[in-house]
């Protein structure tokens, strides 16, 4: 502890964590070193949130883990210091680190679902660390946990700890994980992308709770993220990282409003504009034909066996009518669990609809794969979210792209080799990549190969399931640009599924808003994003984080956010599923009667009991 | 206030650059030096994977296994005596201690132990290898077949397999060999069938795991047939863990064959094999001048199986421990 005092002479404020020329690398068997973190200096003071921001591969997670004295398998601390409360944790043994971890420093992972043990009650897991370390008795820890449940605005704070992890919602579990981390009164919190996997409406609640509790507790925090908009809400200072080096660092207002380094500027540029009317990227009508390229009529679908009345055991989609015009992009938006991926799977034939029909060019398609002809299969291609699992790790790019060319005979006068090279050029990858395996590519490059495989079939419709969700802001922006260009050049239609409204609105001609398996609103992008709004659309629009300080407080104060915060998403047999979270709900009507379809003209429809005038207000 | 691009690079930057000012205000704005017009390429996801390099224990395993394979192949050519030759026809004492002309001594019939170990190596390893190959051929084909088939076919195949698995292996082996009579083809077939059940389980589990991967679904969505999915999508991804498991399974089969031989139902006299050598020479523990007649074949079995284990462990450790979890 003497060391801390020495530093105190030099630097004001209580420094909780500090790195000095920190270097982390992977030592190869031949003795050479791959440098991951190349000399990083930053400090975290008491009561301060420092955001580490950068794309994947920038070393931000690796640096944040150094606060726990932990280097990922294969990596080791190769130089410099990481001082937690004045002690260099990079040189400590596991036995020396154990009393620090969970007590002096706590770690919040990205996925709460993976952090909690599903078969142990929540309270026991939240209070485990301080009780195990002997810093609190069980009773003290319980009291502390209750205090945190209240501070984090969790519902039923007295009893929520008695539940099992699967009995609370994702956003609640994320907050409970914060309670787990804070229960031992740590000096430093390390938060690794804690809201990245959440829906925007949930993200607001979680961010708000995190911010409040960090301020109240006066804890210091390292917040790792690639999302500048989130940083603007929660951080006091920002450290911008690229390739293991600090590119820019300073107070959040300085870095966001007056960024000086070109890399920070690029990060800012990659943020998509807020969803507003007038952004829709109206693509040309030259490819339009009379029949839509792909159409769903009255589709019901779900999982499990289908009962005698034609309803699946676990219904997911109810009465869906969505048409995709040729050469256009339809954005399907909704929270996780709303059925948007299921709809894409129904289109692709991977999940046969329980009732209703799919039409391709006006021709009825068989609901399952086996009943579709090879030509029909060729015309509808599916692109998966995770390129990591969508590409066979044992096949070279040449074979991954070559197979659909052979299978559907789409080489058209070219050799297979020429066609593969042409496809690689189309997705802006060097032709030499043909001989590589997927693991030799970066995340964005893999996603491009994933797209190229769909294009290899010369499809009419490409179903993109959250294709940019796993990518960093900059890489995602590049992929969207690529999609736009491909559409212009080939006239292919896209179904673009995402939970991110700003991505969809910058790109789609039409937007379909799904809620709990039903269409809440659909129409041209401009119309959907301007009044009248379905109450759920309004909630979504107001939940998209803006990269400016102070947005969070404003957004959390809107009536939509207040009404929408607590309710869980439930699929209902009748009535409007959004009833429980709707600020305009009419009790007695909305939950019992199916909402009527309000037509605003120009193909813009809203399913709601309120009138268009009321929804415009 | 802010710093400008003339500051030293971040690696050399002093913490004070972003540290506190005397008044405690934190308004510093650190900007790393940069050149205009430099682009920032997408960063690679992960450092390149290192190729497999055996550790010291791995090398020890490789050397020992290579040694035994060499003996198995060339043993009969190199052995000082024939399998059933008597090195000292005039000396009738059994279980002789090592002496000139018989470095490991002699066995119950006064034959040279070293020569018999060298002859037995080929038989023990050969039978075990053939049986394991058979177990794999059957188990992998049926296991992956069950994984890609519908739930009903899978159910029937798996329950039949479970029934076989529930039988104790040695008992089953004893019954079969006792009923059919012992010969090398019968031994191979019996061991192959018994261990095919274990391989079936592993191959089916691996197949199931790979079946639900997006790239397999992508192939199904493309309209690919079952044959393509098995041979091109599943097999290449299942091969690595299965090959590793092959080494482990080989150990079990060696021990199984040796156990049968020890019980007198394996390789029949006068042919030499390590398991039967242990049994023949058990008397040495009581009456012999040395215990080498028992120890030598037992140690041969031990060194070979431990060495295979060392290699398998090394491979699986370098695959991030994922393989060992599955096995």
- pLDDT in the model for residue B44: 61
* Three-class secondary structure assignment of A4-30: HHHHHHHCCCCEEEEEEEEEEEEECCC
- pLDDT in the model for residue A453: 94
- pLDDT in the model for residue B21: 39
Confidence of residue A278 (pLDDT cuts 50, 70, 90): low
Question: Is the Cβ of B69 closer than 8 Å to some Cβ of chain A?
Answer: no
> pLDDT per residue over A407-436, tens digit each?
999 888 888 999 999 999 988 889 988 998
Distance CA A124, CA A103 (A): 16
Question: Is the Cβ of B9 closer than 8 Å to some Cβ of chain A?
Answer: yes
Of B20, B29, B224, the CB nearest to A13: B20
Architecture of the domain spanning A294-392+452-529: 3-Layer(aba) Sandwich (3.40)
Question: Is the Cβ of A248 closer than 8 Å to some Cβ of chain B?
Answer: yes
Question: Is the Cβ of B159 closer than 8 Å to some Cβ of chain A?
Answer: no
Q: Which residue of A has its CA nearest to B50?
A: A28
Distance CA A121, CA A123 (A): 6
Of B20, B30, B43, the CB nearest to A56: B43
Confidence of residue A561 (pLDDT cuts 50, 70, 90): low
Domains A2-270 and A294-392+452-529 alike in fold: yes
Do A321 and A296 meet the contact criterion of CB atoms below 8 Å apart?
yes
Question: Is the Cβ of B31 closer than 8 Å to some Cβ of chain A?
Answer: yes
Residue A265 reports pLDDT greater than 70:
yes
Of B27, B48, B222, the CB nearest to A377: B222
> pLDDT per residue over A207-224, tens digit each?
888 888 888 888 899 999
Is A181 in a helix, a strand, or coil? helix
CATH (residue range A2-270): 3.40.50.300
- pLDDT in the model for residue A347: 94
Omega before residue A517 within 30° of 0, cis: no
- pLDDT in the model for residue B266: 85
Question: Is the Cβ of B209 closer than 8 Å to some Cβ of chain A?
Answer: no
Q: How many CB pairs under 8 A join A and B?
A: 165
| CB atoms B222 and A38 under 8 Å | no
| CB atoms B42 and A439 under 8 Å | no
Question: Is the Cβ of B18 closer than 8 Å to some Cβ of chain A?
Answer: yes
Angle at A142 between CA A136 and CA A143, to 5 degrees: 95
Confidence of residue A5 (pLDDT cuts 50, 70, 90): very low
B270 vs A360: which has the higher pLDDT? A360
Query: Count of CB atoms within 10 A of residue B163's CB?
Result: 10
Distances (CA, A) of A519 to A153, A323, A487, A541: 31, 12, 26, 16
Is A310 in a helix, a strand, or coil? coil
Of A248, A394, A442, the CB nearest to B32: A248
> pLDDT per residue over A458-489, tens digit each?
999 999 998 888 787 788 888 888 888 888 88
Question: Is the Cβ of A245 closer than 8 Å to some Cβ of chain B?
Answer: yes
| CB atoms B214 and A41 under 8 Å | no
A4 vs A496: which has the higher pLDDT? A496
Q: Where are the domains of chain B?
A: 1-40, 56-326
- pLDDT in the model for residue A366: 92
| Best to test chain B binding among A34, A78, A86, A260 (most B CBs inside 10 Å) | A260
| CB atoms A453 and B38 under 8 Å | no
- pLDDT in the model for residue B194: 92
Left (φ > 0), alpha (ψ -120 to 50) or beta: where does A452 sit? alpha
B181 contact partners, CB below 8 Å, separation of at least 6: none
Of B26, B47, B215, the CB nearest to A237: B26
Superfamily assignment of B56-326 in CATH?
MetI-like (1.10.3720.10)
- pLDDT in the model for residue A412: 80
Q: Which residue of B has its CA nearest to A346?
A: B221
> pLDDT per residue over A64-118, tens digit each?
999 999 988 778 899 999 999 889 999 999 899 988 888 889 998 887 888 899 8
Question: Is the Cβ of B321 closer than 8 Å to some Cβ of chain A?
Answer: no
Beta bridge partners of A312: A306
**Which of A489, A454, A458 has its CA nearest to residue A348?**
A454
| CB atoms B20 and A369 under 8 Å | no
Question: Is the Cβ of A404 closer than 8 Å to some Cβ of chain B?
Answer: yes
Angle at A289 between CA A283 and CA A290, to 5 degrees: 130
| CB atoms A249 and B236 under 8 Å | no
Of B29, B48, B233, the CB nearest to A250: B29
Q: Where are the domains of chain A?
A: 2-270, 294-392+452-529, 532-617
Contacts of A241 in chain B (CB under 8 A): none
| CB atoms A26 and B47 under 8 Å | yes
Do A61 and A237 meet the contact criterion of CB atoms below 8 Å apart?
no
Q: Which residue of B has its CA nearest to A23?
A: B11
ipTM: 0.79
Burial A43-63 (b: 16+ CB within 10 A, else e): bbbebbbbbbbbbbbbbbbbb
Left (φ > 0), alpha (ψ -120 to 50) or beta: where does A47 sit? left
Distance CA A228, CA A275 (A): 17
Contacts of B4 in chain A (CB under 8 A): 260
- pLDDT in the model for residue A524: 92
- pLDDT in the model for residue B26: 46
Quick one: how many helices (H) and strands (E) in chain B?
Answer: 12, 1
| CB atoms B43 and A243 under 8 Å | yes
Q: DSSP label at A510?
A: E
Distance CA B130, CA B99 (A): 36
Distance CA A88, CA A41 (A): 14
Of A382, A441, A443, the CB nearest to B218: A382
**Which of A136, A138, A170, A176 has its CA nearest to residue A154?**
A176
**pLDDT < 50 regions, chain B:** 1-26, 323-327
Rounded to the nearest 10°, the torsion over CA A483, A488, A492, A497 is: 30
Burial A488-522 (b: 16+ CB within 10 A, else e): eebbbbbbbbbbbbbbbbbbbbbbbbbbbbbbbbb
Q: Report, as an integer, the average pLDDT of A568-582.
A: 76
Question: Is the Cβ of A13 closer than 8 Å to some Cβ of chain B?
Answer: yes
Distances (CA, A) of A16 to A24, A70, A183, B41: 21, 17, 18, 34
The model carries a pTM of 0.79
Q: Report, as an integer, the average pLDDT of A551-579.
A: 73
Contacts of A247 in chain B (CB under 8 A): 10, 31-32, 34
Question: Is the Cβ of A368 closer than 8 Å to some Cβ of chain B?
Answer: no
Of B16, B31, B42, the CB nearest to A248: B31
State the average pLDDT for chain A: 86
Contacts of A384 in chain B (CB under 8 A): 214, 217-218
- pLDDT in the model for residue A287: 62
Question: Is the Cβ of B151 closer than 8 Å to some Cβ of chain A?
Answer: no
Q: DSSP label at B267?
A: S
CA distance A246 to chain B (A): 6
CA distance B202 to chain A (A): 20
């Amino acid at each position: 502890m003497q060391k801390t005092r020495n530093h105190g002479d030099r630097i004001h404020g209580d420094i909780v964590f500090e790195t000095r020329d920190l270097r982390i690398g992977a030592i190869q068997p031949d003795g050479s070193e791959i440098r991951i973190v190349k000399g990083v200096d930053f400090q975290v003071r008491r009561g301060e949130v420092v955001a580490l921001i950068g794309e994947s591969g920038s070393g931000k997670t690796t640096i944040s883990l150094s606060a726990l004295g932990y280097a990922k398998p294969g990596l080791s601390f190769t130089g410099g210091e990481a001082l937690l409360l004045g002690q260099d944790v990079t040189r400590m043994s596991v036995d020396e680190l154990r009393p620090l971890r969970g007590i002096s420093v706590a770690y919040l992972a990205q996925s709460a679902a993976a952090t909690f043990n599903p078969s142990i009650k929540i309270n026991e897991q939240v209070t485990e660390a301080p009780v195990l370390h002997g810093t609190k008795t069980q009773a003290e820890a319980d009291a502390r946990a209750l205090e945190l449940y209240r501070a984090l605005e969790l519902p039923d704070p007295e009893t929520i700890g008695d539940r099992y992890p699967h009995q609370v919602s994702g956003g609640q579990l994320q907050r409970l994980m914060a309670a787990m981390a804070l229960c031992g009164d740590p000096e430093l919190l390390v938060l690794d992308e804690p809201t990245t996997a959440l829906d925007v409406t949930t993200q607001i609640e979680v961010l708000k709770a995190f911010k409040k509790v960090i301020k109240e507790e006066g804890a210091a925090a390292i917040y790792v993220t690639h999302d500048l908009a989130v940083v603007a809400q929660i951080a006091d200072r920002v450290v911008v990282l690229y390739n293991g080096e600090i590119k820019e660092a300073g107070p959040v207002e300085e870095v966001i409003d007056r960024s000086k380094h070109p890399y920070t500027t690029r990060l800012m540029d990659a943020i998509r504009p807020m969803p507003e009317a007038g952004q829709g990227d109206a693509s040309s009508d030259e490819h339009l034909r009379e029949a839509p390229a792909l159409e769903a009529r009255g589709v019901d679908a779900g999982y499990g066996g289908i009962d005698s009345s034609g309803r699946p055991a676990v219904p997911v989609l109810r009465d869906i009518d969505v048409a995709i015009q040729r050469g256009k992009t339809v954005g399907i938006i909704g929270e996780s669990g709303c059925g948007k991926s299921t709809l894409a799977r129904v289109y692709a034939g991977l999940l046969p609809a329980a009732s209703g029909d799919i039409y391709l060019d006006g021709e009825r398609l068989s609901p399952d794969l086996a009943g579709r002809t090879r030509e029909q299969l060729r015309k509808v291609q599916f692109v998966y979210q995770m390129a990591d699992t969508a590409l066979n790790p044992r096949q070279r790019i040449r074979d991954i792209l070559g197979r659909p060319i052979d299978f559907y005979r789409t080489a058209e006068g070219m050799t297979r080799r020429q066609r593969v090279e042409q496809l690689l050029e189309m997705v802006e990858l060097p032709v030499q990549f043909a001989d590589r395996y997927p693991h030799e590519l970066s995340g964005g490059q893999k996603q491009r190969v994933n797209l190229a495989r769909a294009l290899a079939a010369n499809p009419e419709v490409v179903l993109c399931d959250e294709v940019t969700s796993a990518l960093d802001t900059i890489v995602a922006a590049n992929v969207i640009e690529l999609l736009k260009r491909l559409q212009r050049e080939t006239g292919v239609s896209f179904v673009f599924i995402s939970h991110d409204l700003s991505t969809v609105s910058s790109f789609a001609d039409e937007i379909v808003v799904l809620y709990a398996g039903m269409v809440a609103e659909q129409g041209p992008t401009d119309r959907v994003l301007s009044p009248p709004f379905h109450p759920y659309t309004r909630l979504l629009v107001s939940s998209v984080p803006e990269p400016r300080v102070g947005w969070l407080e404003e957004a959390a104060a809107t009536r939509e956010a207040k009404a929408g915060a607590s309710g869980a998403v439930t699929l209902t047999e009748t009535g409007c599923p959004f009833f429980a979270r709707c600020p305009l709900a009419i009790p007695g009507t909305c939950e019992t009667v199916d909402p009527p379809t309000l037509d605003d003209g120009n193909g813009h429809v809203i399913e709601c009991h309120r009138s268009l005038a009321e929804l415009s207000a | 206030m802010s710093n400008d691009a003339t500051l030293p690079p971040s690696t050399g930057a002093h913490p004070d650059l972003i540290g506190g000012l005397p008044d405690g205000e934190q308004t510093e704005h650190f900007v790393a030096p940069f050149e205009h017009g430099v682009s920032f390429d997408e960063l690679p996801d992960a450092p390149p994977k290192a190729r497999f390099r055996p550790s010291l224990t791995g090398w020890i395993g490789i050397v020992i296994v290579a040694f035994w394979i060499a003996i198995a192949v060339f043993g009969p050519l190199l052995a000082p005596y024939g399998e059933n030759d008597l090195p000292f026809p005039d000396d009738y004492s059994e279980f002789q201690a090592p002496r000139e002309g018989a470095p490991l001594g002699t066995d119950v019939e006064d034959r040279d132990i070293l020569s018999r170990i060298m002859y037995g190596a080929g038989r023990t390893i050969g039978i075990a290898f053939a049986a394991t190959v058979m177990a794999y051929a059957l188990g992998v084909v049926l296991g992956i077949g069950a994984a890609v088939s519908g739930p009903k076919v899978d159910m029937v195949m798996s329950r039949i397999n479970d029934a076989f698995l529930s039988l104790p292996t040695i008992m089953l082996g004893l019954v079969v060999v006792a009923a059919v009579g012992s010969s090398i083809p019968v031994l191979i077939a019996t061991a192959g069938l018994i261990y095919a059940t274990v391989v079936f389980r592993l191959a089916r589990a691996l197949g199931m795991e790979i079946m639900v991967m997006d790239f397999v679904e992508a192939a199904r969505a493309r309209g690919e047939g079952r044959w393509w999915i098995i041979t091109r999508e599943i097999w290449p991804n299942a091969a690595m863990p299965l090959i590793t498991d092959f080494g482990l399974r080989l150990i079990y089969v060696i021990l199984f064959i040796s156990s049968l031989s020890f019980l007198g139902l394996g390789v029949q006299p006068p042919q030499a094999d390590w398991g039967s050598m242990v049994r023949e020479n058990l008397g040495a523990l009581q009456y012999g001048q040395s215990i080498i007649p028992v120890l030598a074949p037992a140690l041969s079995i031990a060194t070979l199986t431990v060495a295979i284990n060392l290699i398998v462990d090394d491979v699986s450790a370098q695959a991030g421990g994922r393989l060992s979890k599955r096995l």
